[in-house]
Structure 1
Amino acid sequence: MASALVFLIVFGIVAAFWSAHRAAAEAALRIGRNACAAADVQWLDQSVQLAGMRLRRHPSGWIGIERSYHFDYSRAGDDRHRGRIVMLGSELREFVGPGRGDAEPLAFPRAG
């Protein structure tokens, strides 16, 4: 009986973490897509990539998970710039990308 209760508690914690993770990723996706549309730039790859997670204190004092996401966009079609979105829970904490911040073009080594 006790092992079933422990299993349910662990399962509940994992499910809550997964749900919060998906909510933050979907919010970052919307923010990146909307920022590219508003700046009239091409949003490349149609996705955001999780770049890192860490514990961070909310302004209310509670500890939460801060997630950093990267996304790529192009201004002219032949360049590639990297944007950054930082979410604390489901709240936007930082944005660097088209229209705000200074995102540098990505440099790729040439073959040959």
Structure 2
Amino acid sequence: MIDLGHVTLLILAFWAGAWIWRGLGLRDRALSLVRSHCSKADVQLLDESIALVRLRPGRNRNGRIGLIRRYAFEFTVTGERRYPGYVELHGAQPLNLELAPHPFPGEGPDKPPSNVHYLR
């Protein structure tokens, strides 16, 4: 026999499943943003994956309250070293996408980066 308790559990299970389904869709959106940014920056996304590292309440640029998801990933320039990066989404809207400081393609470890100027 189905009573109100069973209906409540079914509604909660459905809600949790829908929330997880939406989270997976947002993860795919973040991954496509990262792939696009890495190809524009001429770096290689490693492992073709990202990981959810933080979920917190916050506001977007318009002041709207919601959940901010932070996904971490790793990339490389030459294939020798891994560098971290992250992307933050407020819903499906990207807030931040950052790559750690890294050498630009074509610059070796002995050659200083072209964007660094030394004062003498």
Tell whether the structures are fold-level matches, with TM greater than 0.5: yes
Over the matched positions of the two proteins, sequence identity in percent amounts to 27
- The ranges of structure 1 where at least 4 consecutive aligned residues each deviate by more than 6 angstroms after the TM superposition are none
The normalised TM-score by structure 2 is 0.74
Separation in 2, partners of 1:3, 1:72: 45
Residue ranges of structure 2 left out of the alignment (5+ in a row): 103-120
Structure 1 gaps, min length 5: 98-102, 106-112
**Correspondence for 1:109:** none
Alignment deviations for residues 41-73 of structure 1 (CA, whole Å, 9 cap, x no partner)? 111111001111012245364x42211011111
Secondary structure of 2:79's counterpart equals coil
Please report the RMSD computed on the Cα atoms of aligned residues, expressed in angstroms.
1.6
* Counterpart-to-counterpart distance in 2, 1:14 and 1:57: 23
TM-score, structure 1 as length reference: 0.78
Cα distance in 1 for residues equivalent to 2:32 and 2:12: 31
Task: Provide the rounded CA distance (Å) in 2 between the counterparts of 1:60 and 1:8.
Answer: 34
Partner in structure 2 of residue 94 of structure 1: 96
Q: Identify the structure with the greater strand proportion.
A: 1
SS at match of 1:46: coil
Residue 17 (structure 1) aligns with: 19
Give 2:101's aligned residue.
104
**Residues 5 and 19 of structure 1: is their aligned pair in 2 closer, same or farther, counting only changes over 3 Å?**
same
Secondary structure at 2:46 match in 1: strand
Letter in 2 for 1:104: P
| Offset at residue 74 of structure 1 (A) | 0.7
**Out of 51, 55, 58, which is 1:56 matched to?**
58
Larger radius of gyration: 2
Equivalent position amino acid for 1:2 in 2 = L
- The alignment of Structure 1 onto Structure 2 pairs a total of residues equal to 99
Q: Aligned pair 1:3/2:5, yes or no?
A: yes
- Counterpart of 1:7 in 2: which secondary structure? helix
1:67 equivalent in structure 2? 69
Structure with larger RCO (C-alpha < 8 A, sep 6+): 1
Corresponding residue SS for 1:40:
coil
